[in-house]
Amino acid sequence: MTAVFPGSFDPITSGHMDVLTRASRMFDQVTMTVMHNARKQGKNLFTLEERLHILRAATAHLPNVSVDSFSGLLVDYVAQLNAPPYKAVIIRGLRAVSDFEYELQIAHLNRQIGEAETVFIMAATRWSFVSSSMVKEIASYGGDISEMVPRVSADALKTKFAEAYAERAVNQG
Ligand code: PNS
């Protein structure tokens, strides 16, 4: 059975990696698809190409995981991947109860408009406070994000915020 793990992935975090790794053991094939989140319009740090590059590098060790992008409705993308008798499912990670209301709404809408099923995977508690936006904020001040993201994301963040990291290193002597 095929699963689609959609998201902004700006950039991919250790929480995403945890959910992805566990999904890759449950499904024959998992496609990580970078999609547009209208709520994050103009807020992405990395370009689409950069995010795809980071995702490919971070997931290269998982043989049944592929990386893609799509601009449009998630249900249309999922429909393209359906292989009868199975329907592809959507994977979403849940960190805490605070994620649930938003995710529940989207899952219901995706079932209503495209009969798409969503499977939730709870991220390990160690990642429950990690989000791409918090990681970007910490990195923008040159803080240590090495535990919270895969190595390739950390390197990309350090390149983006090179000045902040250099300045913090000087201040810390
Ligand atoms: O990582 P994110 O930003 O929480 O991912 C949200 C995403 C990109 C999966 C969601 O915004 C989405 O599905 N976008 C595609 C457009 C769509 O289908 N919208 C209807 C459901 S909100």
The domain spanning residue 56 has which CATH number?
3.40.50.620
Tell whether 164 is covered by a domain: no
Tell whether 161 is covered by a domain: no
Tell whether 150 is covered by a domain: no
Atom 13 of ligand 1, residue of closest alpha carbon: 74
Tell whether 29 is covered by a domain: yes
Domain region containing 95: 2-128
Tokens of 57: 């590098």
Tell whether 95 is covered by a domain: yes
Our count of domains for the chain comes to 1
Q: Which residues are catalytic?
A: 16, 40, 95, 132
Confidence tier at 169 by pLDDT (50, 70, 90): confident
Tell whether 121 is covered by a domain: yes
pLDDT digits (tens, 9 = 90+) for 151-164: 999 999 999 999 88
3, 143 contact by CB (below 8 A): no
pLDDT of residue 97: 86
d(CA 57, CA 153): 9
Cα three-residue angle 44-76-26, rounded to 5 degrees: 80
Pocket-testing residue among 19, 35, 99, 136, ligand 1, by greatest number of atoms within 8 A of Cβ: 35
Tell whether 160 is covered by a domain: no
60, 35 contact by CB (below 8 A): no
Look at residue 29 and give its three-state secondary structure.
strand
Cα three-residue angle 35-41-44, rounded to 5 degrees: 70
pLDDT of residue 18: 98
Q: What one-letter code names the amino acid at 93? A: G
Does the beta carbon of 15 lie inside 6 Å of ligand 1? no
Closest CA relative to residue 26, chosen from 3, 4, 9, 6: 3
18, 123 contact by CB (below 8 A): yes
Does the beta carbon of 112 lie inside 6 Å of ligand 1? no
pLDDT of residue 147: 96
Tell whether 19 is covered by a domain: yes
